[in-house]
Amino acid sequence: MPPAQRDYYEVLGIARNSSADEIKRAYRKLAMEYHPDRNSSSDAAERFKEINRAYEVLSDGDKRSAYDRFGHAGVDGAGGPAGFDGFQTFEGFGDIFDAFFSGAGGRGGRRRGPARGADLRARITLTFEEAAFGTEKELEYMRLEHCNECSGSGAAPGSSPEVCPECNGAGEIRRAQQSVFGQFVNVSTCGRCRGEGRVITNPCEECRGRGGVRRQRQISVKIPAGVDDGQQVRLSGEGEVGERGGQPGNLYVLLDVEPHEVFERLDDHILYDLPLNMAQAALGTSLKVPTLDGDADFDVPAGTQSDDEFVLRGRGIPRLNGNRRGDMIVRATVVVPESLTEEQRELLEQLADTLGTPSLPHRQKSLLERLRDAVAG
């Protein structure tokens, strides 16, 4: 028996009445924590898959409503009512009735129906700025596509698949057996047609009867502003083709964002460490600091200490699918020189003699100004 699925709200660690923003924040935090590229624990991949599935359901209004009403059965199956634990029809009991009542008319053969194509994954590397402001990237990848020569049938042009002589098109083989309890019927997939009910006697030379060929595909991927490392973009219908007329799968593009030389990202905000010498921190100064939008004027107040933080509003990362931006945090770092010139040492010694003497503020300032000039020189 497979392990019971956990409640999706429990997976994301949120309440059932959580807002869309709360769901998104919880997902982003957990996805970053359990991403297999970042987390080396043995269960990281499984947890990451579980987190993505929970977010896929709870971030979609219709799916979330179905999940709230019917639980996992409402979103994992065809949407049938709860209480049947995922069974959507009574077809699953057919073989049981056939086994005991095989002589009572029997059931018609069942060929396999349309099958959805496989999902594919690819990776795209973005610069810090591309992730912040969005971009458009060209992506090349291999996928299974319908064979142009046979239009996906697998049969050579001018021919078509024929009814399987082994199962007469049923796709399955039934063998009756007698026992002390009566007659039993063993049902198995037809080995010749593999459950298709049709066989190809004259296969297509291009695809060798498979109906599909692998081709290189190039598409343009639009990356929205505000994406972060480890997130993925889903491109519906860009996966592999489905069998027997089934829907194509999806392409999931995982985003790798390169670190920035001077900025560190904190959700929608960015952090910049501003180095200051002792004179700049003590006296204050005006200088330019880098931002994502170019250099900006910045005033350092007098008496700034190491680790003091200043906020530049709206200079951070644009919020994903929103119209606002985070902030830029400027963190001061006072750098003490490792070596001094004779003049600098002399000035510092004079300053040390005067610090803490309230009656000499003007002399202190003068020495600091001279020190700043000496350091700048």
Q: What is the DSSP string of 67-135?
A: HHHHTTHHHHSSSPPTTSTT--SSGGGHHHHHHH-TTSS---------BPPPPEEEEEEE-HHHHHH-E
Residue type, 345: R
What stretch(es) of the chain map to CATH 2.60.260.20? 263-376
* Separation between Cα atoms, residue 290 and residue 3, nearest integer Å: 52
Closest CA to 156 of 169, 147, 144: 147
Q: In what order do the strands lie in the sheet with 328-334?
A: 263-266, 269-276, 328-334, 309-312
Domain boundaries 263-376, corresponding CATH code = 2.60.260.20
Residue with tokens 């996906």: 152
Q: Which CATH architecture has domain 1-81?
A: Orthogonal Bundle (1.10)
Reading the block at residue 307, the tokens are: 């680790």
Kindly give the confidence (pLDDT) of every residue in the chain, 377 residues in length, as a single tens digit, with 9 standing for 90 and above.
Answer: 445 678 899 999 999 888 988 899 898 888 888 887 778 888 888 888 899 899 989 988 888 888 887 788 777 753 333 333 333 333 333 443 443 433 333 344 455 567 788 899 999 999 999 999 999 999 999 998 888 888 777 888 888 888 888 888 888 888 877 665 667 778 888 888 877 888 888 888 888 877 788 889 999 999 999 999 999 999 999 998 887 667 889 999 999 999 999 999 988 999 999 999 988 998 999 999 999 999 999 999 999 998 899 999 999 999 987 778 999 999 999 998 888 888 888 888 788 777 755 444 444 454 455 555 655 55
Angle formed at CA 167 by CA 165 and CA 168, multiple of 5 degrees: 60
Q: Give CATH 1.10.287.110 domain extents, the chain.
A: 1-81
Q: How far is CA 164 from CA 49, 112, 191, 200, 227, in A?
A: 40, 14, 10, 9, 52
pTM comes to 0.56
Say how far apart CA 98 and CA 100 lie, in whole Å: 6
- From CA 99, how far away is CA 183, in angstroms rounded? 7
Cα–Cα distance for residue pair 170/110, rounded to 1 Å: 6
